[in-house]
């Protein structure tokens, strides 16, 4: 038994020494190996006895220890053991033969090989870890894996002890290999530690770099936010400045516009306003006095009988009233003329700056307008211009006064009441004038707007009556060539004279006598730049010497 243990221990001691030799002679190809480092099949050797096992060739041991895996396989260990014991053994154990021989009794060689391989594998794995001494490992393994077969082998086998010198050499080789392995493990551990330290250092550097970049980013964001707030403040200031500049620009425009002469309305616009006023007067009379005959004369008689400051006697001279009394068909045209004469006397007359002003104020303002051309240094052709500018500026200033506006509205209301009171004397109980008072107020308002627009224009506008109400009978004669200058009404029929009507004239061209005017003509006064222009002809009533045959529907007088 001691001899068998000695053999096993000798084999285990040879394995590290041969591994160390293989590592020292790594560049030298060992006998029994191929050029690729693979272990060739061992050459069969002669059988040996247990007494000459120490004479096994070192070359064969080195060939067994220099395999690519640096560890002897089970087959190689078995071959070495068989060679040492002098037993003929095969080098490989195919799997199929193992299966065939599974149930047969095991021979001495099989039992020895199985137990030896288990011992060697366990001992090599524990020796590589360097944790337990070899003697202790072998004892523990022997106690754990001992079988009856192995005990029989140990009882029946007797092997001589290995010389002390070789045992010492093998122990030193084993220690050398273990130290070498420990050194390599230490080097690997140190390398791993260095790699880990380097990685940790890199991670720390990256953390520091990320922290620095985060601080830089926060700083950049803060600076950008501050800059953005500053730019927004500057932008708000610029917008405020732009608004102020725009406001100043608008003020400048208003001042420049205020310094320029007001153009006012055009000729066509003023003419349309005048024709609209005349049409509204005609419609109002047709609505209120459709069944009244000789109304104007009745109004005049009533006012004269009551000894009042009659509006009719104020606007119509006696000669016209007598002619109107002789021609009953002239009632409605004369009522229209009466309304327009009242509007002209209180609103449309150019000597009235603003309706409702006291008479003394009107006189002073008109005097200032006339005197401005005398005190101004400009001479010649600029006198009329400065006079018009002064009148225009004066009127604009008056229109902007709240006091003047408060004087105008009551005056227009009083004027409407005067007209209504006058018409009530004609038909005191059945007059429709009160019912249509709103339309009369509209007529008065239209007259005030027309007068205001005429005064706001640089051109001088006025009215052409075509007949002086106080003219004598000789000055009222109508000749044929004058018919083209008027819109004529026949006193017998109260109808407008058509352009195709045949009017008989005397040898001297006389066709009749002018009785009165209904609506004056609308003209633009002549200036040095513009000529006199008649925008609308006056409407007059003519008493023809001979009856004028005509038919058709009566035209409007507007």
- 152 pLDDT exceeds 70? no
- 435 pLDDT exceeds 70? no
Q: With CA atoms as reference, report the closest residue to 373 among 381, 365, 384.
A: 384
406 within 8 A of 326, measured Cβ to Cβ? no
The residue-averaged pLDDT of 350-364 equals: 76
Phi, psi (rounded to 5 degrees) for 217: -65, -45
Phi/psi region, residue 487 (left: phi>0; alpha: psi -120 to 50; beta: rest), is beta
Q: With CA atoms as reference, report the closest residue to 10 among 156, 173, 146, 147.
A: 173
- 69 pLDDT exceeds 60? no
- 185 pLDDT exceeds 50? yes
Out of 33-47, 252-266, 469-483, 510-524, which region has the weakest mean confidence (pLDDT)? Answer: 33-47
Q: What pTM did the predictor assign? A: 0.51
Half-sphere exposure of 495 (CA within 13 A, CB side): 13
85 within 8 A of 50, measured Cβ to Cβ? yes
The residue-averaged pLDDT of 372-382 equals: 57
- 47 pLDDT exceeds 60? no
Residue 3 pLDDT class (50, 70, 90 cuts): low
- 67 pLDDT exceeds 70? no
What's the mean per-residue pLDDT of the chain? 70
Residue 276 pLDDT class (50, 70, 90 cuts): very high
Out of 68-72, 180-184, 374-378, which region has the weakest mean confidence (pLDDT)? Answer: 68-72
pLDDT at residue 244, rounded to an integer: 93
74 within 8 A of 117, measured Cβ to Cβ? yes
Residue 554 pLDDT class (50, 70, 90 cuts): very low
Q: What is the pLDDT of residues 536-545, one digit of tens each?
A: 889 888 888 8
- 326 pLDDT exceeds 70? yes
Percent of the chain's residues with pLDDT above 90:
12
Element (H or E) spanning 182, and its range? helix 164-259
pLDDT at residue 515, rounded to an integer: 83
pLDDT at residue 484, rounded to an integer: 83
- 133 pLDDT exceeds 70? no
Delimit the domains of the chain by residue range.
2-162, 176-260, 267-544
Angle at 166 between CA 160 and CA 169, to 5 degrees: 150
The residue-averaged pLDDT of 426-438 equals: 61
- 273 pLDDT exceeds 60? yes
Q: What is the pLDDT of residues 205-255, one digit of tens each?
A: 999 999 999 999 999 999 999 999 999 999 999 999 999 999 999 988 887
Out of 125-134, 319-328, 397-406, which region has the weakest mean confidence (pLDDT)? Answer: 125-134
- 45 pLDDT exceeds 50? no
Percent of the chain's residues with pLDDT above 70:
58
């Amino acid at each position: 038994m001691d001899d068998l243990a000695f053999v096993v221990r000798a084999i285990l001691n040879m394995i590290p020494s041969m591994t160390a030799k293989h590592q020292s002679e790594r560049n030298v190809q060992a006998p029994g190996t191929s050029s690729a480092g693979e272990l060739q099949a061992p050459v069969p050797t002669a059988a040996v006895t247990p007494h000459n096992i120490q004479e096994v060739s070192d070359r064969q041991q080195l060939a067994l220890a220099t395999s690519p895996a640096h560890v002897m396989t089970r087959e190689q260990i078995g071959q070495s053991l068989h060679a040492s014991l002098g037993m003929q053994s095969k080098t490989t154990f195919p799997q199929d033969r193992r299966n065939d021989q599974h149930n047969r009794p095991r021979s001495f060689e099989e039992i020895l090989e199985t137990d030896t391989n288990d011992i060697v594998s366990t001992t090599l794995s524990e020796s590589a870890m360097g944790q337990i001494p070899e003697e202790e490992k072998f004892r523990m393994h022997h106690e754990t894996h001992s079988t009856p077969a192995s005990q029989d082998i140990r009882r029946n086998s007797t092997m001589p002890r290995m010389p002390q010198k070789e045992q010492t050499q093998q122990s030193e080789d084993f220690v050398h290999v273990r130290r070498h392995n420990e050194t390599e493990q230490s080097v690997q551990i140190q390398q791993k530690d260095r790699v880990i330290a380097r990685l940790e250092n890199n991670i720390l550097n990256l953390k520091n770099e990320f922290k620095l970049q985060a601080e830089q980013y926060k700083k950049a964001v803060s600076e950008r936010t501050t800059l953005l707030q500053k730019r927004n403040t500057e932008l708000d200031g610029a917008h405020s400045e732009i608004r102020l500049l725009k406001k100043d620009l608008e003020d400048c425009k208003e001042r420049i516009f205020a310094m320029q002469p007001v153009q006012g309305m055009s000729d066509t616009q003023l003419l349309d306003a005048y024709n609209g006023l005349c049409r509204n007067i005609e419609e109002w009379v047709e609505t209120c006095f459709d069944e009244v005959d000789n109304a104007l004369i009745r109004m005049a008689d009533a006012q004269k009988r009551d000894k009042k400051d009659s509006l009719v006697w104020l606007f119509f001279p006696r000669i016209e009233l007598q002619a109107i009394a002789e021609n009953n068909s002239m009632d409605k045209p004369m009522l229209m003329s009466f309304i327009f004469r009242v509007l002209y006397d209180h609103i449309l007359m150019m000597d009235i700056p603003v309706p409702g002003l006291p008479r003394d104020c009107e006189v002073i303002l008109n005097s200032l307008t006339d005197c401005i051309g005398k005190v101004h240094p400009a001479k010649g052709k600029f006198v009329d211009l400065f006079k018009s500018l002064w009148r225009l500026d004066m009127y604009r200033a008056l229109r902007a006064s709240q006091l003047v506006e408060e004087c105008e509205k009551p005056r227009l209301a009083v004027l409407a009441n005067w007209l209504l009171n006058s018409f009530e004397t004609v038909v005191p109980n059945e007059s429709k004038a009160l019912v249509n008072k709103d339309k009369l107020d509209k007529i008065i308002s239209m007259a005030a707007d027309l007068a205001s627009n005429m005064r706001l224009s640089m051109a001088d506008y006025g009215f052409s009556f075509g007949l002086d109400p106080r003219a004598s009978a000789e000055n009222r004669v109508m000749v044929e060539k004058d018919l083209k200058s008027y819109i004529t009404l026949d006193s017998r029929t109260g109808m407008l004279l058509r352009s195709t009507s045949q009017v008989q004239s005397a040898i001297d061209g006389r066709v009749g006598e002018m009785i009165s005017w209904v609506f004056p003509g609308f003209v633009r006064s002549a200036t040095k730049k513009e000529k006199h222009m008649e925008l609308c002809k006056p409407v007059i009533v003519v008493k023809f010497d001979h009856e004028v045959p005509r038919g058709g529907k009566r035209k409007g007088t507007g």
